[in-house]
Structure 1
Amino acid sequence: MKDTENVIQTNAKYHELDAKANIIYKFVMNYNDYIKTARDYGTGEIINMVEVHTLTVIEENPGTTVTEVALEWNRTRGAVSQIITKLEQRGLIIRKKKAGNAKNVHLYVTDKGEILSKAHKEYDIKELTWADKTLHKRFTTEEINLFYNVMQKYTELLEIPNNE
């Protein structure tokens, strides 16, 4: 009989935790779709969120390197290099080697890239302000801030190997 009770308790605990995990899973899946959707940030250039945020990192950090961008976004150099190549092909950034150091390639936005980055910032201000106002219809500022604190900590947990 004890084994049956353990199975019931295990199943109950699993379903309790799984319901919580599914909330996160659905958020992650929806947000993943959202960031991969290409959109016009107001300049006529159609670009996805990952690319435009990478562009903005470069715009705000002239001379940054692929390695630095990869560290900032917790991505491989290869993944970032693919994005950088796309941005360069579209005339949004340029790569430059500094005199005396041919090894490191530094990244800079073009005039076109700077215009898009600034338009992206304005777009994000509108979108994030809308989201904030919508959330405030149901939650207090304290609850929203707590949500972001929990998300930050959860993100940190995901960056730590399970056994630590």
Structure 2
Amino acid sequence: MLYTIEMSKVNELTIEEISDVLLGIINKFSKEERKKTDYGIDIPLYHSEIRTITEIKEHEGIHISALAKHCGVTKGAISQVIKKLEQKELIIKRRDIRNQSRFLLHLTSKGEIAYSHYLQHNNEFKKLIVDILQNAPIDKVSFLNDFLGEIKKKL
């Protein structure tokens, strides 16, 4: 029985340490998300701006309402981001020829460069994860994937 109690304490400490590490990682990402980042165009962008650029690139010709839905924000919020991106000459709005009251969004060449650098940044992060996990046993990688998936579902 003493062994069970001691193991329980060890597990609680380990779980608390894991929780602290995860919270630390989340906080670090949160801080990074609030900072402006230069994506190769000499114009620092907020996370919301590069995310909007990404959605426009991946859904070329998307209209504002659909973009707001994809980003999980209001039409008013996405309109503000779009206005900033237009001022920075990263996107252009074109009137929809099938619906004259609607505008379709496209990246400019500068927007394409920012998107390309964003992808490069993401690939570097993915490489970091691959480098860390490449020699790990498959059952541990599978557990980690399941564990992180459960956290994501519950947040």
State the TM-score bracket (shorter-chain normalisation).
0.7 to 0.9
Q: Which runs of 5+ in 1 are unaligned?
A: 1-18, 156-164
* 2:110 counterpart SS class: helix
Q: CA deviation at 1:84?
A: 1.0
Q: CA deviation at 1:27?
A: 5.3
Q: Distance between the aligned counterparts of 1:33 and 1:137, measured in 2?
A: 30
Give me the TM-score of the superposition, normalised by structure 1: 0.69
Note if contact 1:42-1:123 (Cα within 8 Å) is conserved in structure 2: no
* Structure-2 change in CA distance of 1:22 and 1:130 (3 Å): closer
Note if contact 1:135-1:144 (Cα within 8 Å) is conserved in structure 2: no
Q: How does 1:24-63 map to 2 (within 5 A)?
A: 28-63=26-61
Note if contact 2:94-2:104 (Cα within 8 Å) is conserved in structure 1: yes
Tell me the equivalent position of 1:113. Answer: 111
Tell me the equivalent position of 2:92. Answer: 94
> How large is the RMSD of aligned CA atoms in angstroms?
2.8
Q: Distance between the aligned counterparts of 1:102 and 1:50, measured in 2?
A: 27
Q: Share of identical aligned residues, percent? A: 25
Q: How does 1:1-164 map to 2 (within 5 A)?
A: 28-134=26-132, 140-155=140-155
Q: Which runs of 5+ in 2 are unaligned?
A: 1-16
Q: Distance between the aligned counterparts of 2:116 and 2:123, measured in 1?
A: 11
| Stretches (4+) displaced over 6 A | 19-25, 135-139
* Structure-2 change in CA distance of 1:107 and 1:32 (3 Å): same
Aligned length: 138
Give me the TM-score of the superposition, normalised by structure 2: 0.72
Tell me the equivalent position of 2:6. Answer: none
